[in-house]
Amino acid sequence: MRFLVTNDDGILATGIQCLIDAAEPLGEVTVVAPDREQSATSHALTLHHPVRPVQRAERRWQVDGTPTDCVMLALGALMDEQPDFVLSGINHGQNMGEDVLYSGTVSAAMEGLSLGIRAIALSFAGGDLRADVSLLEQQIPTVTKLLRHLVALPNFPEKTLLNVNLPPIPPEQVKGVKLTRLGTRVYSNSLRKMEDPWGRPIFWIGGGSVTWTGEENSDFRAVKDGYISVTPLRLDLTHHDRLTAPEDWWLDL
């Protein structure tokens, strides 16, 4: 089994080392990851200047680009053989609900999927940068066990990536694994107005407060209740129900 491992927190982040340690018992691991944090870059590609891969060790590369750049370079130039899976993470922070639209972690997995490789994105819901990283390191045996199960699924769904969120609790307290749908999150007060040194208005995006909601089978509810959430995602954003019942909303031109 061959794995490509990447992330959006940078090659030196604790999460990617935890994912490497979790995946290595299952097969050969190649790492191609950004050289710095690339959170919330979504599916961005670097088009206006070249990207430079730097080899740090055998099967270990850092790239001055986005997570999507990393996957494209790995599959198109750096790996001699295509991997069986793209593994992205472990992100230090949840990627649930609408977060998947912004997440570099999820988008790296999506890039693998778009290039024909099965993909899994993993996140640890203890997202506060002040959270104890040792709690993340404790998840390694749990992630190994979960990955062993997922990569061995006899009918891994086609054109689908699996978005995994780990609850921010010690592994012995995890109640199990639930198959989930995306929940909903709302950010409040995430824009902060400031002034630059010349008195001109600037805005800092981030912070504020987050409100999560979700039905019984949502990712948010599963993580809140102490379960590992596994949400199948696809590239096709088409709202198929609206196509099968257009008379409810569509007027012919």
Could you report the per-residue pLDDT of 191-250, keeping only the tens digit for each? 888 999 999 999 888 766 677 777 889 999 999 999 999 999 999 988 888 888 888 888
Counting every residue written for the chain, the total comes to: 253
Whether 111 and 158 have beta carbons less than 8 Å apart is answered as no
Q: What is the pLDDT of residue 197?
A: 94
Q: What are the beta bridge partners of residue 61?
A: 32, 55
Buried b (16+ CB within 10 A) or exposed e, 8-41: bbbbebebbbbbbebbeebeebbbbbbbeebbeb
Q: What is the pLDDT of residue 135?
A: 86
What are the DSSP E strand ranges found in 77-226? Answer: 85-92, 118-124, 161-166, 176-179, 184-188, 191-195, 201-205, 209-213
Q: Tens digit of pLDDT for each residue in 163-187?
A: 999 999 999 999 999 999 999 877 6
Contact partners, residue 9, CB within 8 Å, separation at least 6: 15, 16, 37, 38, 39, 91, 92, 105
Residue among 223, 131, 141 nearest 176 (CA): 223
Query: Which H/E stretch holds residue 136?
Result: helix 133-137
Q: Tens digit of pLDDT for each residue in 35-47?
A: 887 777 778 888 8
Burial class of 2 by CB neighbour count within 10 A (0 to 12, 13 to 18, 19+): middle
Q: What are the beta bridge partners of residue 212?
A: 185
Contact partners, residue 162, CB within 8 Å, separation at least 6: 119, 120, 121, 150, 230, 231, 232, 233
Whether 85 and 118 have beta carbons less than 8 Å apart is answered as yes
Say yes or no to pLDDT of 130 above 70: no
Q: Tens digit of pLDDT for each residue in 49-105?
A: 999 999 999 999 999 999 999 999 999 999 999 999 999 989 988 899 988 998 899
